Amino acid sequence: MKSPSWIDAHCHLASDKFKDDLSQVLERSQQVGVTGWVQGGVDPVDWDRQKELKILWGKRFITSFGLHPWWVATASASVLNQGFKQLEESLPQSDALGELGLDFGQKHDFNRPQQADAFKRQLELAKRYPKPLILHIVKAHPEALDILKSMGPFPKGGIVHSFSGSYEIAQDYSKLGLLISVGGAITQDGYFGLKKAIPLLSLPQIVVETDSPDQVPKLKEAGERNEPKHLVGIAETIARLKGVTTQDVLDQSTRNLEKLFGLI
């Protein structure tokens, strides 16, 4: 049987937390069959590091350049403008655009107008440089859906990363051609809306992510820092909720991502 070659739908391998041992982290990932990694972009420093890593790790290292809502929420007007200038220059070399979106969650709920404005400006860029979108939306689904509906369609599609909303909200994103990316939240206590949604969603609507090094899943093998190898444990939890096999979940998630990023 062919050995698996799955893709982690969202992680941050350019993070400082991986600077000392990324090769070992990715070898461990490859050993369990996770051989591709979609990045979430944060700021210009992060994009430069992603470019270096793509050279080392090849075409299944999917780069994504964007201005993360956390970065946007605290940036001054001049830093923000500089960020947009650099994004416009760099975006043609990227596989995807993002992270972009809105975060009105307790820890990052600053400067809502600036977040909304930067979200719209990045969606404008998506029209000039069509790329799949990597969306970060926390506690702001109605606001984000309004913006996406008024500015769409986005024919290159995208993913809603670390989704933890209800089935109804997931369906609204699906109608816009976006994939629902499920991560470690599914392994945690609580998250009842998400746990109810999973059996109702079809596998072609879902992708699976770790968000490494963040969002350590509640799995017995997980340590202090999240790693792409935990994708398998997260998929196992989804599989149990859906009554399918872990391989079914990861094969279809990978197929969805390969289609999105033109890898097949």
Which is closer to Zn ion, CB of 54 or CB of 68?
68
The number of beta carbons lying within 10 Å of the beta carbon of residue 85 is 11
- The distance of closest approach from Cβ of residue 37 to Zn ion in the complex, given in angstroms and rounded to an integer, is 12
- The distance of closest approach from Cβ of residue 60 to Zn ion in the complex, given in angstroms and rounded to an integer, is 18
Interface with Zn ion in residues 35-94 (CB under 5 A): 40
Q: Using CB under 5 A as the criterion, what x/- string covers residues 123-162 for binding Zn ion?
A: ----------------------------------------
Which is closer to Zn ion, CB of 42 or CB of 222?
42
Q: What region, left, alpha or beta, does residue 150 occupy, with left being phi > 0 and alpha being psi -120 to 50 degrees?
A: alpha
3-state secondary structure of 98: strand
Residue 153 CA to residue 137 CA, distance in Å, equals: 18
Which is closer to Zn ion, CB of 184 or CB of 239?
184
Amino acid at 21: D
3-state secondary structure of 5: coil
Scanning 34-42, 74-82, 108-116, 225-233 for contacts with Zn ion by CB under 5 A, the matching segment is: 34-42
- The distance of closest approach from Cβ of residue 39 to Zn ion in the complex, given in angstroms and rounded to an integer, is 8
Residue 48 belongs to what H/E stretch? helix 44-57
Scanning 33-41, 143-151, 163-171, 254-262 for contacts with Zn ion by CB under 5 A, the matching segment is: 33-41
Which is closer to Zn ion, CB of 40 or CB of 101?
40
Instruction: Kindly state the number of chain residues that form the binding site for Zn ion, as judged by CB under 5 A.
Output: 1
- The distance of closest approach from Cβ of residue 99 to Zn ion in the complex, given in angstroms and rounded to an integer, is 5
Tell which residue, 45, 26, 46, 48, has the closest CA to residue 37.
26
3-state secondary structure of 92: helix
Which is closer to Zn ion, CB of 54 or CB of 136?
136
> Residue 89 CA to chain centroid, in angstroms?
22
- The distance of closest approach from Cβ of residue 11 to Zn ion in the complex, given in angstroms and rounded to an integer, is 8
Which is closer to Zn ion, CB of 101 or CB of 233?
101
The residue at minimum Cβ distance from Zn ion is 40
Residue 124 belongs to what H/E stretch? helix 112-128
Q: Answer for the pair 87, 75: CB distance below 8 angstroms, yes or no.
A: no
- The distance of closest approach from Cβ of residue 12 to Zn ion in the complex, given in angstroms and rounded to an integer, is 6
- The distance of closest approach from Cβ of residue 49 to Zn ion in the complex, given in angstroms and rounded to an integer, is 14
Which is closer to Zn ion, CB of 37 or CB of 239?
37
DSSP string, 150-207: HH---TT-EEEET--S-HHHHHHHHHTTEEEEE-GGGGSS--HHHHHHHHHS-GGGEE
Report the interface residues with Zn ion, using CB under 5 A.
Answer: 40
